[in-house]
Chains A and B, each alone.
Chain A
């Protein structure tokens, strides 16, 4: 199943309980669409490529700035001014030449984005605003693709997995007041905190894609970097959710016809 080189490369995975060659092969057959290659995205993309995920789509229109370097570890001083997605692709291929990497550097290229979403097993949201998270959540619900969303500002990291295929909540269900969201621009960010948020996403993604276990869909994992406490909350499904209730209602209506 795995060749000798793969067997050697992934030997420490294969020693894990419940993780076998089939699980590793599921990773190499997986396709993931990743929105954002900043603090979260650098962590997730590196972890997934190194672990053997076979295909990734990197959607990011930003360029590298000097203020990114303390936490966006795929980039170096020489990369300042270059497109994040393209530099990340080069670095990830050096790490894992077997990975197929697509870059979309224009958020308005909806045709290319949607073509990839329809063939992706997982969406990972590594963007940096409520506005973009709500939009990506709507895409996940519309295309019925599981979504792993995380965020970090100051000393706080959060991460949640959502699955539109089960009747759980979506990212929009809590109806957060998105106009008052706190981002790294207002609060700053402690580099290890965003790394922890990204690695929580990677942990959930690799567990799900390899088939070793599903994340707890709809559980918000909350990490406080000041006291190192990790807490877990359940997000209540909102029957009046502005996003998922409309999609489900239209499906229910279609089924009743």
Chain B
């Protein structure tokens, strides 16, 4: 199936988990925010979150300065 992650189109297996996508894209240091279809998913739910055809995943580093 096809999904989009950080503006890239990906071909992934039907049983693809959110965690596998995060591991593939996580090259940056820092606290991550991960959104599926513009909803930020709690870290403890990444393992259980399944993906569907056409899902849009955004992975970004959350900043804390001020």
Say whether A and B bind each other: yes
A residues bordering B, Cβ < 8 Å?
36, 38-41, 126-130, 133, 150-154, 156-158, 173-178, 180-185, 187, 189, 194, 197, 220, 222, 231-236, 238, 240-241
Whole-angstrom distance from the CB of B63 to the nearest CB of chain A? 4
- In the complex where A151-B64, A194-B65 touch, is A182 in contact with B29 (Cβ < 8 A)? yes
Q: Is the interface of B mostly helix, strand, loop or mixed?
A: mixed
> Which of B29, B33, B44 meets A220, CB within 8 Å?
B33
Which residues of chain B come closer than 8 Å to A222, judged between CB atoms? 60
A-B interface contact total, Cβ < 8 Å:
108
Told that A36-B66, A152-B63, A185-B65 touch, could you supply 15 new A-B pairs with CB distance under 8 A? A38-B66, A133-B64, A151-B62, A151-B65, A152-B65, A157-B63, A158-B63, A176-B33, A181-B31, A181-B63, A182-B61, A194-B65, A236-B40, A236-B41, A241-B42
- In the complex where A174-B40, A177-B43 touch, is A183 in contact with B64 (Cβ < 8 A)? yes
The contact sample of 22 A-B pairs, CB cut-off 8 A, is A40-B66, A133-B64, A150-B66, A151-B64, A151-B66, A152-B65, A153-B64, A153-B65, A174-B42, A175-B42, A176-B32, A176-B62, A177-B43, A182-B29, A182-B61, A183-B64, A185-B65, A220-B40, A232-B38, A233-B38, A233-B39, A234-B40
Which residues of chain A come closer than 8 Å to B33, judged between CB atoms? 174, 176, 220, 233
Whether A233 contacts B35 by the Cβ 8 Å rule is: yes
In the complex formed, the residue of A with least CB distance to B60 is A222
Interface residues contributed by chain B, number (CB under 8 Å): 22
Which residues of chain B come closer than 8 Å to A153, judged between CB atoms? 63-65
**CA–CA, A41 and B66, complex, Å:** 8
Q: Which residues 17-66 of B have a CB within 8 angstroms of A? A: 29-33, 35, 38-45, 58, 60-66
> Which of A151, A175, A177, A236 meets B63, CB within 8 Å?
A151
Whole-angstrom distance from the CB of A124 to the nearest CB of chain B? 11
Which residues of chain A come closer than 8 Å to B64, judged between CB atoms? 128-130, 133, 151, 153, 178, 181-183
